Amino acid sequence: MARLPGTVGYGEDAEALALRYEGVAFEGVHGDLLPWLPPAPGRVVDIGAGSGRDAAAMAARGYAVVAVEPTPELRRIGQRLHAGAPVKWVDDALPALTGLRGPFGLVLLSAVWMHLDEQERVEGMRRVAELTAPGGCVAMSLRHGPTPIGRRMFAVSADETVALAERFGLAVVHRGEGPDRLGRAEVRWSTLVFRSEWRTEVGRG
């Protein structure tokens, strides 16, 4: 089966990638997010869950967690590494996410958004907004730096992402910038948290 464009390069190196991901704690990567976590228990979804590190950490905090991962190799590793965590794993992908049913109090997209091209980002943001409960949050991190060989990534700015989110009723409540947690000097990250304030359809009138 052909791989989705944004997942190319991840399955082939899944074991090494999972080892790197698991070597950094959820709290270390997502410290900016912690104040915006919804009250537990509640439904949260980790889109592009990778090795399951974040999904398992949120399950340990008492949330009902859905982990969405389209790369079968990473999904199997995550299910193995976190077999004891009450996480529901789903094979699905942005921008459509046809197998996912909301609403969720938190939608997490960690190191995912830059894999989508411009049209996919519009479609994906519409779908993310649909999945977010009123008053719920969307948290995402954007990678800035050279694209690794064999991967599909796009240069996506925080300003562009904030403007797109606003079109779909997602208001930015937090913006942050920071270094790469894996020690890559050439890579930096933007952290964005949005709150769902209203629902609107875009492009009609």
Q: What is the pLDDT of residues 71-102, one digit of tens each?
A: 899 999 999 999 999 999 999 999 999 999 99
Other beta carbons within 10 Å of 183: 9
Domain boundaries defined on the chain: 5-196
- What is the rounded distance in angstroms from the CA atom of residue 37 to the CA atom of residue 62? 11
What does the pLDDT read at residue 12?
Answer: 58
Average pLDDT over residues 91-118: 95
- Which H or E run contains 96? none
pTM of the model: 0.88
Query: Which of 46, 38, 25, 24 is closest to 173 using CA atoms?
Result: 38
- What is the rounded distance in angstroms from the CA atom of residue 191 to the CA atom of residue 176? 5
- What is the rounded distance in angstroms from the CA atom of residue 52 to the CA atom of residue 157? 26
Q: 3-state DSSP call for residue 104?
A: strand
CB contact at 8 A, 153 and 117: no
Average pLDDT over residues 59-73: 96
Instruction: Note the residue count of the chain.
Output: 205
CATH number of 5-196: 3.40.50.150
